[in-house]
């Protein structure tokens, strides 16, 4: 059993953690009861995601208190997420302390790709699970011990559906869409594009060979999320990476400012 929160069981494996995890049971039900025809009726009125959200809030406070800009990177498999991440880490590692949580159903290949850049990473294998949840991330953060005033990238399981529902405590969800996918993905997977604050349109160096309509795609994304920011880039060729770096620096500064405000308040 986990000594931190008493969890046990489950198929999730976190590198550096000696046991498996499932969610815990520390929540409270308030309600009244009254009689009904066959059985007794019990009012519950409880959010199904409340347990996850409580872990997410605890992660978020930790990130804010320690000025750790945390981003939850989400996409379908094959969007170039890990390549984008390794390029980003190589460009920023002399400027900020960086760390990475890698989520995949199986293998630690991605965490090894990250470590090859010299950045520390911990792999979470979700087993049959299709998404990371805030509880797994909380444990991974304990193992990883990200520095104060740093950036933490969480590469979620490649899946445009399930990770949309689970807050991990991140500052922003960043959705990555590559131009080799359909431009109507924002309409097909609206929950994810609605949940994200930034969309990175990746592999733009391939646009000359494709029928991908960039404006149409951005229009669809704005239809499900009028506030979504969009950056176009190619992680392999480097086009557009400067704008992404600037966005990261600005967000990191905002995160540090947030900590100062909390400390003064």
Partner 1 sequence: MHEMSLCESVLQILEESAHKQEFSSVKRVWLEIGMLSCVEPEAMRFSFDAVMKGTLADGAKLELLRVPGEAKCLACLQNVEVQQYGDLCSACGNSRLEISGGDQLRVKELEVV
The contact set with partner 1 (CB under 8 A) reads: 22-23, 25, 27-29, 31, 33, 36, 38-52, 129-131, 133, 161-166, 186-187, 190-191, 193-194, 220, 222-226
Quote the least distance from Cβ 87 to partner 1, whole Å.
30
Q: How far is the CB of 159 from partner 1 (least distance, A)?
A: 9
Long-range contacts of 55-58 (CB under 8 A, 24+ apart): 55/133, 55/134, 55/135, 55/137, 55/138, 55/169, 56/134, 56/166, 56/167, 56/168, 56/169, 57/169, 58/134, 58/138, 58/169
The two three-digit tokens of residue 60, written as one number: 């978020």
Do the Cβ atoms of 70 and 170 come closer than 8 Å?
yes
* Distance of alpha carbon 141 from alpha carbon 63, whole angstroms: 10
C-beta closer to partner 1: residue 153 or 220? 220
CB 54 to partner 1: min, Å: 11
Smaller CB separation from partner 1, 64 or 140 = 140
Q: How far is the CB of 24 from partner 1 (least distance, A)?
A: 8
Pick between residue 11 and residue 95 the one whose CB is nearest to partner 1: 11
- 173 vs 118, 200, 238, CA distance in Å? 24, 11, 22
How far apart are the C-alpha atoms of 118 and 105, rounded to whole Å?
24
The tokens for 208 are 């000359």
Q: Which C-beta is closer to partner 1: that of 34 or that of 264?
A: 34
Whether 205 and 237 have beta carbons less than 8 Å apart is answered as: yes
Of the pair 146, 163, the CB lying nearest partner 1 is at 163
Least distance (Å) between residue 144 CB and partner 1: 23
CB of 255 vs partner 1, minimal distance in Å: 26
* Residue number, 160 or 235, with CB nearest to partner 1: 160
DSSP letters spanning 62-76:
HHHHTTEEEEEEEE-
């Amino acid at each position: 059993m986990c000594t931190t929160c008493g969890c046990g069981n489950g198929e999730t494996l976190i590198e550096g953690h000696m046991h498996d995890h499932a969610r815990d049971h520390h929540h409270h039900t308030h309600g009244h009861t009254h009689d009904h025809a066959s059985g007794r009726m019990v009012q519950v009125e409880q959010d199904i995601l409340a347990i996850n959200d409580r872990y997410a809030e605890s992660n978020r406070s930790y990130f804010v208190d320690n000025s750790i800009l945390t981003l939850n990177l989400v996409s379908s498999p094959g969007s170039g997420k890990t390549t984008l991440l390794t390029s980003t880490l190589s460009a920023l590692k002399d400027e900020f302390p960086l760390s990475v949580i890698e989520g995949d159903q199986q293998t630690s290949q991605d965490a090894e790709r990250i470590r090859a850049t010299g950045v520390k990473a911990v792999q979470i294998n979700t087993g049959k699970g299709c998404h990371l949840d805030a509880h797994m991330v909380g444990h991974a953060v304990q193992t990883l011990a990200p520095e104060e005033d740093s950036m933490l990238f969480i590469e979620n399981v490649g899946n445009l559906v399930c990770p949309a529902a689970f807050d991990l405590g991140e500052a922003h969800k960043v959705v990555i869409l590559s131009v080799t996918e359909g431009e109507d993905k924002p309409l097909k997977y609206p929950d994810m594009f609605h949940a994200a604050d930034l969309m990175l349109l990746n592999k733009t160096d391939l646009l000359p060979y494709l029928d991908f309509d960039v404006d149409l795609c951005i229009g669809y994304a704005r239809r499900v999320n009028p506030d979504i920011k969009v950056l176009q880039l190619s992680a392999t060729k480097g086009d557009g990476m400067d704008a992404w770096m600037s966005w990261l620096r600005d967000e990191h500064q905002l995160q540090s400012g947030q900590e100062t405000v909390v400390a003064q308040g």
